[in-house]
Structure 1
Amino acid sequence: MASRDVQDYRHDATRKNLPPAGLAAQGRVAETPKHVHRYDPHLPPKLRFDQTGEADDLDGLLAEAMERPLSEEEARLLLKHTRPWLEWTGKREKHAFEVEPVALNVHERVSAQAVIRAAQREDVQRDLFADPQLPFGDAVKFYEHDVDWANRLILGDSLQVMASLARREGLAGKVQMVYIDPPYGINYASNFQPKVGDKNVKDGESHLTREPEMVKAYRDTWRLGIHSYLDYLRDRIVMAREMLHERGSVFVQISDENLHRVRAILDEVFGAENFMSVITFRTKIPLRAKYLAGIGDYLVWYARDAEHVKFHKLYQEREYGRGTQFTNLELSNGARRKMTKRERDRQSPLPKESKPFTLTDMVSAGRTESCVFDAEIKGEDYTPASGKSWKTNPEGFEKLLNADRIEVPRNVPRYVFRLDDYPVQEMTNMWTDTQGASSKKYVVQTSTKVVQRCLLMTTDPGDLVLDPTCGGGTTAYVAETWGRRWITIDTSRVGVAIARQRLLTASYPYFAVKADESNDPGRGFKHRTVPHITMGAITNHPTLGAALDKHREVLDGHLGQLDEALAEVDGSLRSKLAAKLKAKEKEEGKRAVTDADERRWVLPEDTFEHWTVPFDADEDYPDALAEAVAAYRKAWAKKRDEVQKTVAANAAHETLYDQPEVEKGVVRVSGPFTVEAVLPAEATLPDATESPIGGAPDALDGSFGNGESADAVVDAANAEAYLDKLTRLLREDGASFLGNATQGFDRLDRMAHSVLHAEGEWTSGDGTEQRIAVSFGPEHGPITAVQVEEALFAASRGGYDHLLFAGFNIDGAAQAAIEADSNPRVRTHLATVAPDVVMDDLLKKPAQSQLFTVFGQPRTSVEADEDGHVRVTMEGMDVYDPVKNALVPTKAQKVAAWFVDHDYDGRTFCVSQAFFPDKTAWKKLKAALKTQVDADAFARLSGTESLPFKPGKRVAVKVIDPRGNEALRVHTVGGATYQTEAAR
C-alpha cells in the first residue's frame, strides 16, 4: 500500500494539556465560584430606549445644543439614548453574569487512522492519536504545557465550557467562526433526542430524555419561558464574542418565532454596526398550512469587527435557459441565434462547443464627453441618445467590434456577454437549495450545505471553528471536511455519541495543500479559479489591439478569396438559394429566419464584408466558394480562441473557495480528536448545585455575616437538600440488584464529609451486620475518577465493609478506577439513580420505587491466539432503562457502539478498534478503502468480536448504550482482573 493512500490532516497548532480522566485525581485545578440571580417572571420582553432615567434630561441637552457645541461625552449620551434595546424579566437587575471556568477531562482519544491500521492487521502507534505521552510529572501539571493539536468533542454546558476555553486555555480571541444553533421552541419533549438511532421523538413521557444534564439545560433555558431563553442566548452570545478573533464571525440559526429577539440581542452584544446579514435558507417543502406555509429558517450573521471581518465571496455556477438571461447561443462557427424551446427548457443538449450569451447595454447611465462619437457597425452609423455616451472610447469600441462583441438587435448596439466570460455569480443571502439534511442521524440536524457556506465565507483552512450546540455534529463534520480545526460542545450524551460515530466513520476528499509535502491544511489549499471578463477587460487590454490587427489582416486576405469565388456564382444559383429562404419563411415563419440563414442564402452582389460572410456553406455552393468559406471560418475560429485566451489571461480571476483541488487516489479520514467532559463543580459537593431559580436579588448582597454571600448560602442549602433527599430515598427504597433482589438498610444517616455523604448498616445474606458508606454523584454530572479515588481512600480509612457509589451517570474513568483498586476489604457497588427523582416538575408520574439500581460491567472476554494476539468478545451489557426504571440485560447487537483500547494506560481511553451495530455506519469508508482493507474486516467492525491484535499489559473495552451512557471494563492480559462486587 502506498504511504499516501490513507491520510488525515495534522494541524501545526497547539493546545493546553488537559487532565486525562484517569489522572484527574493526581493534580489540582483551581475552581471559581459563580453567581446566579433571581428574577421576577412577570414582564413581557419589550423594546426600551432608556434603562437609567437619563433620557429624561435629553430635552435639556437638545436645548443646550442650540446654544453651544456639545462636549464629546454629551454627544455620546445623546446618541446612546436614542438607540433601542430589548429588555426582559431580570435583565435590568442582572447587570453582569459570572460563570465558572470549569476544568475539562480528556476521556477518549479517537483516531480513524488507528482503526484502519487495526483493520489492516498493522500495529497501532500512539502518535496516531496525537497523544502527548508526557512524563507523569509533567502530565499532572494540568494546563501548563502546550501539546499537539487534536480536535475536540466536549460533553458539558456550553457556557461553562466556553469560559474554560477562554480563561484556562487562552482561546479568547482565537476562534474564527462560531456557529450557534439554539433550540427553537419551548416544548421540553421537542428539544432533545433520547436515544441514538431513534429520531422519532414523541410527546409521551416515555420519549423524554432522562439525562440530568439535559434536564438542567432545559430548566435553565425555559424556567421563566421566553425570559430565561433570552438570558440563555445572551450569556452564550457574550461568551461567543469573547472567543472570537477580531476578524471572526458568529452565525446564529433561528426560526421566525424568535428571529426578531435574537437580532436585538446580537445588536446589543456585538453592536448594530457589526451586523452583516440575515440569510434565509430553505429547510422543507411547503405543506398544507392554515395561512402561509413556512419553508425556511434564518442565519443571523454578525462580525466581531465589520471593518476587519474575514470574508470570501462564494459563487454559484451560472445557469442558462428559461428563467435566466442567457437564452442566446453562439455556435462553434460564430453564428448566433436564440435557443430553441427545448434548449431553454434543458430538454435537449446544446450544440457541441456552443456558448450561451446575453446582450447588455453599450450605453452608460451618464455622459462622458470622450465616449460620445458616431460608431460605425456593419456599415451603419450609431450615436448614443441625448445626454448619454458609450461605455468606452473610440479605441475601445473598435476592439469590441474586431473581437465580435457587438450585436445590433432592433437597431440598438448591444454588448455580447458570454456565459464563460464569468461563469459564476455571487451568492446572495437567499439560499433556496439547502432543503433538509441528507441521511439525518439527529432529530434536529442541520443541512451540511448551510454550515459549509458559513464556514467557507468566513474562515481559511487551519482556522478554529466553535459550535457550542453540537447536536448531530454537523459543524464538526463540515470543519473536518474543509480542513478547519474544530471544537464542538453538547450537554447530551446522545449527541456526543452520534457525532463521534459520524466523524469516525466518514471519508473525506483530500484537498491538495499548497506545500506539496505537507498535510497541514493551515498552509492553504490550491483552489480552482475562474476568469471574470468584463467589457473593460477587453477595451483596456494593453496588447489586444495589436493581436486583433494581425488577425484582421489574415481575415482580409480570406475575404479576397471569397470575392474571387463569388464571381463564379450565377443568377440561377442565387434564385435557388433565395427559394430556400422563402421556403423556411413560409414553413416556420419570418421569426425563424436567422442571421446565419440570410448570410447563407442571400449572397452579396459583388464583394463580401466581414459581417456578410456565411457561417457555413450551402450544399449547392460551388466548390471554390465552399472552400473559401471554410478557410475564412477556420481563420476566424483561430482569432476567436486566441482573443479569448489573451483576454482571460489578463482579466481578473475569482477564487472558488468551495472547489479546492482534490488529490486523486488518496482517501482521507478524520484527524485525531478527543472526547472530553466537564469535571463537575459538584464533584466535592460542598457547593454542589443551584436551584432552577437560584441566587438572591442584588439588594441582598452583603447582608450575610462572615463574608458569606447570598449565593453561597443558597448553593450550600441546595446541595444539602439534594443530599438529604437522596439519602432519604435510598433509606426508604434500598438498592436493587440484578434479578430484582433488593438490599435494604438497617440504618442510613447523612454524614458531613466531602465525598462520603451517608453511612449506615445493612444485614448480608448470612445474617452479618456490615457497615456501608455512600457517595452520591453530583446532581448535574457524572461520578468522576476524582470522586472515586477520594471516596475509596476515605472508605478504607473509615473501616467500612461496603462503598456504594450512586449517581445519574458514572464515567468510564471512574469505573476503571474502581477496577484498579486492589483493596479487597471494601466491596464496591455502582448504582444508577433514577433520573425521575429530580424530574418531579417535568413528569406527571415520576418513579416511586427501585430508585437505586446496582449495575454491572460490560460482559466481555479476552481470548489469546497461539501467535500472541488476542480477540475481545462483547456479549452485551446490563443497561439501565430509566423509562422502565429497571436494569435490562442487553444483547450485544442492541448497544450503540463498543470500542477497544489495545494498550490502556489508565490515563485516557484510546479507540484502537470501533464497532457499530449499525451495518451502514462504515459503508462510505468501506467503499473508499476497498483496495486497502478487505471487506471482511469492515464487516467485523459491525460485529461483536474484535479483530486480532497484539495487546499491551491491559486491554480496555468501552460499551456505549443507546442513551449514550458508557461502561468500561479493563482486562489484564495474562492475569486476573480485579472485579467489583457488582461484577461478581
Structure 2
Amino acid sequence: MAQKSDLELRWTNKDLELHAVGDRAYEWLSRSDERAAAPVSLREITTLGHEDDRPSGTIVVGDALHALRALTRVPEGHGAGGVRLVYIDPPYNTGQAFAQYADSLTHSAWLSMLRDRLVALKPLLSPLGSVWLHLDDAEQHRARCVLDEVFGPDAFVATIIWQKRTTRESRSAFSSNHDYIHVYAPAGPQKWKHSRNLLPKDPAELRNRDNDPRGPWADAPFTAPGFRANQHYAIVNPAGEVLQPPRGRSWYATQPVYERLRSENRIWFPRNGAGLPRLKLFPDQLKGLVPFSLWGPDEGGTNDDAKRHLMALFPDVEAFATPKPEQLLERIIHIGSDPGDLVVDFFGGSGTTAAVAHKMGRRWIAVERSLETVANFMIPRLTRVTRGEDSGGVTETVGWRGGGAFTVSEVAPTAGEERPLDWDEVLRASELQSSDQRVSGGNRANSRVTVAPTLFDIENASESHVA
C-alpha cells in the first residue's frame, strides 16, 4: 500500500479513466461506466521463431491499460507478482505528431493515461520489482508526483540523467541533451538494492603496479567512515611516515587484519610508498560498481546510435524520432533483473526492450497499441533476433547468436468493440510468411492466450530460451 502523501497533484478529470479508442484516440470514462469495468482478455494469434524452442516472450497488440488488466487475469493467478522489471517509454507530451504516435495529449489526459496504466501495472510487480519511467522535460516533473501517488514517495530510488545526444542544438535557447529515467521500487531503495545487480568493473581499471605474480588488480582506500576505537592505530608506510586515519574516518579493518593483509601483499602504498594505504582487489574479489545517476554516451549510447541501428534493420521505413539504444536497455535490464526474470514494456515502440531482453535471456512482454508499428518494426525485429540476423546493438556485448521463440497476441475486444484484424495481411507486411517460421493460433476468433501463464512460470523459464 502506497504511503499517503500530504501533497497531491490535481488535474482536470482526474477522477475519470482515460480509455483508448482505436489506434490513437482516447476518451474519458466514468469509473461507473460499464466499459471501464468490462473484463478483457488476450487472444493468441501466432507463434514465431524456432519450432523446438519454448516461447520466452510475447508481443501484445492493444492499449496498455487493457493489456495490463488482462495480464492480471491470466489463468491460475500466475500474473500477480511475476514482473521483475518494467521499462516505460511513453509518448512524450511535446505537442509534436510523430509518424508512430499521436503525441499531443493535453496535460490532464497525459497524466490520466500514465496514472491509470501505473495502477494497472502495480499488482503485476514482484516484491523486488522496479519501474523505470523514461521522460523528457515536458512531463517528468509532474510524472514524479504521479509515481509518488501510485507507489508512495518511499518507493523512489533515483532519477537517472541520460545524455541522449552529443551534438548541439543551436536553434534553441538551451540545447536539450538529456532525458530523465525515474526509478521506483515498491519495496523501497534499501531492500531493492540488495537484489539489484552492480555494474561490472572496467577491466581497464585493473593494473599491476607492483608486478604482483597474481596479475592485475584494482585498489580501494583502506579507510572507512566514522570512528571505531579498534580501527584507530598507527601505520608506518614504506617512506617511514607514521600514519593515523584521516579526520572523521577509521582504518578499514582492525590491526590484526591489517597485519595479515600486509603479509599477503594485499596492501599498497601509492606515491612511491609515501601515501596512505590502499587495499588491493583482484578480479575475483571485486563486487562491482554502484551505478551513478548520470549516464553518458559511453554507458548508455545515444538516440543517434539507436537510429543508425534501426536504419540498418529497416532501411525503407521511417525511423522513430527518439528511439532508445540497446546499450541503454542492456544497462537497465542488467541492473534490475536476472536471467529468466520477466521484463515488461507497455509502450513497446520499435521493440528495443523486447529485443534486448531476449538477447539477455529474460522473458518479456511488449505491448504496443499501433498495429502499423507492430507490423513494421516489432515482429520483423524480434524475428531477426531469433534468427541471429541482428548483428547490431548489444548482440556482440552479450554474445547473442540467435534462438528462441515468441508469440503475438492481441487484446480481445469486448462486446460491441469488435475491430477484426487481418492478421494474414499483417504477417505478410512483416515479411514473415517464410517456411522456417512457425505460424499457429487455431481458431483465431475464439482462441485465448496460452503464453501468458508460461511467461510467468519462473521454474521452467530456463527451458524457454536458447542463446
TM normalised by structure 2 equals: 0.71
* CA-to-aligned-CA distance 1:94-127 (integer Å, 9 cap, x gap): 795735332332222212x24xxxxxxxxxxxxx
User: What displacement does 1:411 show?
Assistant: 8.4
- Summarize the Cα distance change of 1:452–1:381 in structure 2 as closer, same or farther, 3 Å threshold: closer
* CA-to-aligned-CA distance 1:400-449 (integer Å, 9 cap, x gap): 44344253759855214446466653322221122232512541432122
SS at match of 2:195: coil
For the residues of structure 1 that align with 2:246 and 2:347, how far apart are their CA atoms?
Answer: 61
Match of 2:196 in 1: 312
- Summarize the Cα distance change of 1:363–1:183 in structure 2 as closer, same or farther, 3 Å threshold: closer
Which of residues 142, 167, 174 is equivalent to 2:73?
167
User: What displacement does 1:668 show?
Assistant: 3.5
SS at match of 1:505: helix
* CA-to-aligned-CA distance 1:656-700 (integer Å, 9 cap, x gap): xx998x7xxx9441x222212233235xx3xx5xxxxxxxxxxxx
C-alpha contact (below 8 Å) 2:245/2:251 kept by paired residues: no
SS at match of 1:268: helix
Match of 2:433 in 1: 899
- Letter of the 2:242 partner, please give it: Y
For the residues of structure 1 that align with 2:64 and 2:129, how far apart are their CA atoms?
Answer: 19
User: What displacement does 1:234 show?
Assistant: 0.6
User: What displacement does 1:496 show?
Assistant: 1.1
User: What displacement does 1:482 show?
Assistant: 1.9
SS at match of 1:248: strand
Which of residues 504, 525, 528 is equivalent to 2:383?
504
- Summarize the Cα distance change of 1:900–1:907 in structure 2 as closer, same or farther, 3 Å threshold: farther
User: What displacement does 1:268 show?
Assistant: 0.1
Which of residues 54, 57, 77 is equivalent to 1:151?
57
- In structure 2, list runs of 5 or more residues that go unmatched: 18-29, 389-395, 446-467
- Summarize the Cα distance change of 1:381–1:233 in structure 2 as closer, same or farther, 3 Å threshold: closer
Match of 2:46 in 1: 108
- Summarize the Cα distance change of 1:908–1:185 in structure 2 as closer, same or farther, 3 Å threshold: same
Which of residues 480, 485, 497 is equivalent to 2:358?
480
Match of 2:465 in 1: none
- Letter of the 1:395 partner, please give it: P
TM normalised by structure 1 equals: 0.36
Find out whether 1:250 has 2:127 as its counterpart.
Answer: no
Pick the structure with greater CA Rg: 1
Which of residues 261, 284, 290 is equivalent to 1:426?
290
Which of residues 258, 273, 276 is equivalent to 1:414?
276
The correspondence of residues 759-838 of structure 1 with structure 2, limited to 5 A, is 781=419, 783=420, 810-812=421-423
Which of residues 283, 291, 309 is equivalent to 1:439?
309
The correspondence of residues 43-58 of structure 1 with structure 2, limited to 5 A, is none
The correspondence of residues 324-363 of structure 1 with structure 2, limited to 5 A, is 330-332=209-211, 355=216, 360=221
SS at match of 1:280: strand
SS at match of 2:433: strand
Find out whether 1:298 has 2:31 as its counterpart.
Answer: no
* CA-to-aligned-CA distance 1:611-666 (integer Å, 9 cap, x gap): xxxxxxxxxxxxxxxxxxxxxxxxxxxxxxxxxxxxxxxxxxxxxxx998x7xxx9
Q: Which gives a bigger RCO, structure 1 or 2 (Cα 8 Å, sep 6+)?
A: 2
For the residues of structure 1 that align with 2:228 and 2:411, how far apart are their CA atoms?
Answer: 68
Match of 2:24 in 1: none
C-alpha contact (below 8 Å) 1:320/1:356 kept by paired residues: no
The correspondence of residues 120-269 of structure 1 with structure 2, limited to 5 A, is 128=52, 151-169=57-75, 170=77, 171-187=79-95, 189-190=97-98, 192-193=99-100, 218=102, 222=104, 225-269=106-150
- Letter of the 1:312 partner, please give it: R
Find out whether 1:284 has 2:284 as its counterpart.
Answer: no
- Summarize the Cα distance change of 1:383–1:263 in structure 2 as closer, same or farther, 3 Å threshold: closer
User: What displacement does 1:316 show?
Assistant: 3.8
For the residues of structure 1 that align with 2:46 and 2:136, how far apart are their CA atoms?
Answer: 35
* CA-to-aligned-CA distance 1:695-730 (integer Å, 9 cap, x gap): xxxxxxxxxxxxxxxxxxxxxxxxxxxxxxxxxxxx
For the residues of structure 1 that align with 2:380 and 2:441, how far apart are their CA atoms?
Answer: 23
- Sequence identity percentage: 24
Find out whether 1:675 has 2:415 as its counterpart.
Answer: no
The correspondence of residues 28-39 of structure 1 with structure 2, limited to 5 A, is none
C-alpha contact (below 8 Å) 1:99/1:159 kept by paired residues: no
- In structure 1, list runs of 5 or more residues that go unmatched: 1-78, 115-127, 131-148, 194-213, 335-352, 510-657, 689-777, 784-809, 816-856, 859-876, 878-894, 910-984
User: What displacement does 1:905 show?
Assistant: 8.6
* CA-to-aligned-CA distance 1:581-623 (integer Å, 9 cap, x gap): xxxxxxxxxxxxxxxxxxxxxxxxxxxxxxxxxxxxxxxxxxx
The correspondence of residues 728-767 of structure 1 with structure 2, limited to 5 A, is none
Match of 2:391 in 1: none
User: What displacement does 1:333 show?
Assistant: 7.5
- Letter of the 2:383 partner, please give it: L
SS at match of 2:211: coil
For the residues of structure 1 that align with 2:355 and 2:91, how far apart are their CA atoms?
Answer: 20
SS at match of 1:428: coil
- Letter of the 2:160 partner, please give it: I
Q: How many residues align?
A: 395
For the residues of structure 1 that align with 2:131 and 2:224, how far apart are their CA atoms?
Answer: 42
For the residues of structure 2 that align with 1:677 and 1:173, how far apart are their CA atoms?
Answer: 22
User: What displacement does 1:487 show?
Assistant: 1.5
- Letter of the 2:178 partner, please give it: G
C-alpha contact (below 8 Å) 1:152/1:673 kept by paired residues: yes
C-alpha contact (below 8 Å) 1:240/1:250 kept by paired residues: no
